[in-house]
Amino acid sequence: MTTQKRVLVTGGAGYIGSHTVVELIENGYECVIVDNLCNSSYDSVARLEILTKHHIPFYKVDLCDHDGLEKVFQEHNIDSVIHFAGLKAVGESTQIPLTYYHNNILGTLVLLELMQKYHVEKFVFSSSATVYGDATRFPDMIPIPEECPLGPTNPYGQTKLGIENILRDLYNSQKDIWKVAILRYFNPIGAHPSGLIGEDPLGIPNNLLPYMAQVAVGRREKLYVFGNDYDSRDGTPIRDYIHVVDLAKGHIASLKYLDAIDQKTGICREWNLGSGTGSTVLEVYRAFCDASGIEIPYEITGRRAGDVLNLTAKPDRATKELKWKTELDVSIACKDLWKWATENPFGYQLNGISATFGTDEEEFDGRFVTIGSGSRFQATIANLGATLVDLKVDGQSVVLGYEKESQYLTPDTCYIGATIGRYANRIAHGKFALNGKDYQLTINNGVNANHGSIGSFHAKRFLGPILKNPTKDTFTAEYALIDNSEDSEFPGSLQVIVNYTLNVATKTLDIEYTAQVEVEATPINMTNHTYFNLNKLYGSDSIAGTEIKVISNKSIDVDENVIPTGKIVDREIATFDDSKPTVLGKEGPDYDYNFFVDATATPNQIDTRGNELKLVTTAYHPESNIKLEVSSTEPSYQVYTGDWLCAGFHPRQGFAVEPGRYVNAINQDKYKGSVILKPGETFGAKIQYKFS
């Protein structure tokens, strides 16, 4: 068995750190991120989880906080450290030098002391070409080799040189123990080609490309080019731009290099990470205009203090020793940056989205995220079960939910607001046959298995979410789950995506489910188990007075064990054709029935997303004057009046409408085709809750 090496990534929520985490995971490493989020957002980590399909432990800790950082070393068996965390703005460092020295130097000292204490001796450090200062002061030092004399010209660069010196001293004190890679970056640009992560500078960007991107998306008026009287091809300064994905790969190369060094031998060595090719400011400007299709307005102004003609790397040492070189050029970086900028014009921080912690600790993957925050229609969703925790219509909550994540984990769960999977509703006796085998699920509901039994999704922490605000009125939250057969009693390894889309103008919440399976086929049926109470505002802890109608009263007949008999029966419930609705009372009528959308159909679609969204149930409360319409693409829906509601709620405090496939379809030849997901296929379903 191979055990994966665990890398502590400081500053992993930031620009270069987040891209490096992707490459680390792709190369089989595990990551733990420590970041105080002073220049980043946790949302980059949430997106990394979806991008890499891995849970990434995250600690919001300042490196200067010795005890906070020590907890990370105690809780994880760290193999090596990549140290990105630091303040990085050259201009700002001249204004607040003490803050820079304190943060960058002290943070590194605390980190190294703990590494020494816990015998973690592999270290990759984010240094910078800034340590060379003005290399043009020497003849023959352009392109810049590692041997170029060092001479930073600002406090930021001094902190990088100071840390390099600390590392060299540390190595010299125990030459057979420390393995240190000092990576001197040139100018990182671009973004991940997925468009999910990129540079998200707070305030006015210091660097050329993020600035241009903000001009292009209309956040800034024009670009300022500082001087066109340099001795270059077009008069503007020359820099060595490197795609951030190439740069991230340089870290993997250096880590592998350190890993390959003999156990009893140490090293402390510097490598330039640059392309070796210089581009002028106007050449990069042109590449970005071409990639974006926008002629960005610009103005030439005077030279900026401290700028020099040419800072191009000589990357030969990295090519020879680390077997690394850049593969992506400036035009690809511009294209990837443009994708990131257009898909995320305001980066990670979005108005109308807020988050709180569902746990007593600041546990980021236990977050409750509110989309549409501050507006007349808003939804709060938890990572646990990708659960709809709250839904507010004009300030009034219309669903049942808890305040804390732990309350969702009671043994007598009622699946409040949860995503239900792998298999919603009952499977008779918990048995099914598939892949030439017989399966037995744990019985958890009378004589049957219900809602996925012991592997139920309501108790699983989903990855993510990716939060977006694609139009003025819409907000989306996308969660993912990797559900392996070992954790669920079901066959096959399932990848699930749950996507919530809230529209504050139309007061609709759409939920879309997709899933794919690997290895072997699995039964699947997914839905959402929200309990609605449309009259909570008036202190009602009962659904009494709610008026409902359904598309069809044709329902699947069941025996005393709630197992389908094969017959179709008409239930006493008002349909859209009836003039009067069924009024739910304090005691009855009680429903827990699976209804047909069309009793004459034989559903066999595994992906129903292409179907029209069909209205299946309406519910209205005359006191609150709130109307709910439930639509879906699915062939059936369960109506449940909450008569067994438990775990802190009273019977009939809420009702559920759960669109999905037919109850026990996996054991009925006629309906099986709609619930068996095979490798290579996609399961899909859509639900919509609309309020007026």
Query: Where do contacts with ligand NAD occur on this chain (CB under 6 A)?
Result: 11, 13-17, 35-40, 62-64, 84-88, 103, 107, 126, 128, 185, 188
Q: Could you give the maximum distance between any two Cα atoms of the chain, in Å?
A: 93
Rounded to an integer, what distance in angstroms lies between the CA atom of residue 40 and that of residue 63?
Answer: 15
Query: In the complex, what is the shortest distance from the CB of residue 84 to ligand NAD, in angstroms, rounded to a whole number?
Result: 4
The answer to whether the beta carbons of residues 228 and 293 sit under 8 Å apart is no
**In this complex, which beta carbon is closest to ligand NAD, that of residue 93 or of residue 474?**
93
Name the 3-class secondary structure at 164: helix
**In this complex, which beta carbon is closest to ligand NAD, that of residue 106 or of residue 599?**
106
Residue position matching structure tokens 């670009």: 223
**In this complex, which beta carbon is closest to ligand NAD, that of residue 88 or of residue 422?**
88
Which residues, including other chains, have CB under 8 Å from residue 403's CB and lie 6 or more apart? none
Residue position matching structure tokens 């839904």: 391
Rounded to an integer, what distance in angstroms lies between the CA atom of residue 675 and that of residue 667?
Answer: 10
> Which has the closest alpha carbon to 213: 35, 47, 341?
341
Residue 320 burial (CB count, 10 A): 11
Alpha carbon distances (Å) from 317 to 147, 181, 216, 232, 276: 11, 12, 37, 26, 11
Query: In the complex, what is the shortest distance from the CB of residue 322 to ligand NAD, in angstroms, rounded to a whole number?
Result: 17
**In this complex, which beta carbon is closest to ligand NAD, that of residue 199 or of residue 510?**
199
**In this complex, which beta carbon is closest to ligand NAD, that of residue 103 or of residue 664?**
103
Query: In the complex, what is the shortest distance from the CB of residue 186 to ligand NAD, in angstroms, rounded to a whole number?
Result: 8
What are the start-end ranges of the E strands in 410-524?
418-420, 426-427, 431-434, 437-440, 449-450, 463-471, 474-483, 493-503, 508-518, 522-523
Selected catalytic residue, list 119, 529, 621, 650: 529
Query: In the complex, what is the shortest distance from the CB of residue 318 to ligand NAD, in angstroms, rounded to a whole number?
Result: 15
The distance of Cα 648 from the centroid of its chain, to the nearest Å, equals: 31
Residue position matching structure tokens 């703005």: 89
**In this complex, which beta carbon is closest to ligand NAD, that of residue 193 or of residue 673?**
193
**In this complex, which beta carbon is closest to ligand NAD, that of residue 39 or of residue 542?**
39
Query: In the complex, what is the shortest distance from the CB of residue 300 to ligand NAD, in angstroms, rounded to a whole number?
Result: 23
Rounded to an integer, what distance in angstroms lies between the CA atom of residue 497 and that of residue 55?
Answer: 15
Query: In the complex, what is the shortest distance from the CB of residue 64 to ligand NAD, in angstroms, rounded to a whole number?
Result: 6
Q: Is the peptide bond before 465 cis (omega within 30 degrees of 0)?
A: yes
Residue type at position 406: S
Q: What number of CA atoms fall less than 13 Å from residue 123's CA on the CB side? A: 32
**In this complex, which beta carbon is closest to ligand NAD, that of residue 63 or of residue 663?**
63
The answer to whether the beta carbons of residues 424 and 452 sit under 8 Å apart is yes
Query: In the complex, what is the shortest distance from the CB of residue 418 to ligand NAD, in angstroms, rounded to a whole number?
Result: 33
Residue 102 burial (CB count, 10 A): 14
Query: In the complex, what is the shortest distance from the CB of residue 16 to ligand NAD, in angstroms, rounded to a whole number?
Result: 4
**In this complex, which beta carbon is closest to ligand NAD, that of residue 88 or of residue 652?**
88
Alpha carbon distances (Å) from 17 to 32, 191, 312, 532: 11, 12, 23, 43
Query: In the complex, what is the shortest distance from the CB of residue 291 to ligand NAD, in angstroms, rounded to a whole number?
Result: 20
Runs of H (alpha helix) within 78-181: 90-95, 97-100, 107-117, 155-173
Instruction: Tell me whether residue 529 is one of the annotated catalytic residues.
Output: yes
Q: What is the number of the residue whose Cβ is closest to ligand NAD?
A: 14
The answer to whether the beta carbons of residues 687 and 511 sit under 8 Å apart is yes
Whether the CA torsion 62, 67, 68, 69 is positive or negative: it is positive
Which residues, including other chains, have CB under 8 Å from residue 88's CB and lie 6 or more apart? 39, 128, 156
**In this complex, which beta carbon is closest to ligand NAD, that of residue 188 or of residue 545?**
188
Alpha carbon distances (Å) from 242 to 145, 249, 315, 557: 16, 11, 11, 66
Alpha carbon distances (Å) from 287 to 116, 215, 281, 340: 46, 15, 10, 16
**In this complex, which beta carbon is closest to ligand NAD, that of residue 105 or of residue 511?**
105
The distance of Cα 48 from the centroid of its chain, to the nearest Å, equals: 5
Residue position matching structure tokens 């997106």: 47
Query: In the complex, what is the shortest distance from the CB of residue 631 to ligand NAD, in angstroms, rounded to a whole number?
Result: 42
Query: In the complex, what is the shortest distance from the CB of residue 129 to ligand NAD, in angstroms, rounded to a whole number?
Result: 7
Q: Which residues are catalytic?
A: 529
